[in-house]
Amino acid sequence: MRLEQKDQQFLYESDGMLVFMDNETYEQIELPAEILGERRPFLQDGMIVQIEYYEAEALSAALPQKVTCTIVETEPVVKGQTAANSFKPAVLDNGVRVMVPPFVGQDEKIIVDTLSMEYSERA
């Protein structure tokens, strides 16, 4: 059994199907949005996704490990609250909720690890 990984660019979503393009052949493929599971919200326009194939069948799709998102909602920064182990909830521009350090504020860009779905660092 030979698996092949191909980097393909995400173009758009239509009727629950994600459309990707092979940047070498310009061939387009459609995959069900469920192939990304809970990571689907992190898929961004033009993003390069690694799709794993067995013969011509796509088995899985892997997002880049780190993606940049914007915080659209979180509690304001509280002066003096610098404890490294205290995190606060935040809502990202893709609707996903993550925990962020107290010093990160609304409208800031952060990098999220798509494997753990957690805050990684400021962008």
* CATH of 3-62 among 3.40.190.10, 2.40.50.140, 3.40.50.720, 1.10.3720.10: 2.40.50.140
**Nearest residue to 104 (alpha-carbon basis) of 77, 70, 69, 73:** 77
Say which residues have a Cβ less than 8 Å from residue 31's Cβ, sequence separation at least 6: 17, 18, 20, 51, 58, 61
pLDDT tens digit string along 53-106? Answer: 999 899 999 999 999 999 999 988 766 655 556 899 999 999 999 999 988 999
Task: State the pLDDT at residue 82.
Answer: 59
Q: Is residue 84 classed exposed, middle or buried when 0-12, 13-18 and 19+ CB atoms within 10 A define those classes?
A: exposed
* Average pLDDT of the residues in 2-21: 95
pLDDT tens digit string along 27-36? Answer: 999 999 999 9
How far apart, in whole angstroms, are the C-alpha atoms of residue 120 and residue 55? 35
pLDDT tens digit string along 104-114? Answer: 999 999 999 99
Q: Which two tokens stand for residue 9?
A: 């660019």
Q: Which two tokens stand for residue 29?
A: 């493929």
CATH number given to 66-122 = 2.40.50.140
Domain locations in the chain as residue ranges: 3-62, 66-122
Note whether 3-62 and 66-122 share their fold: yes
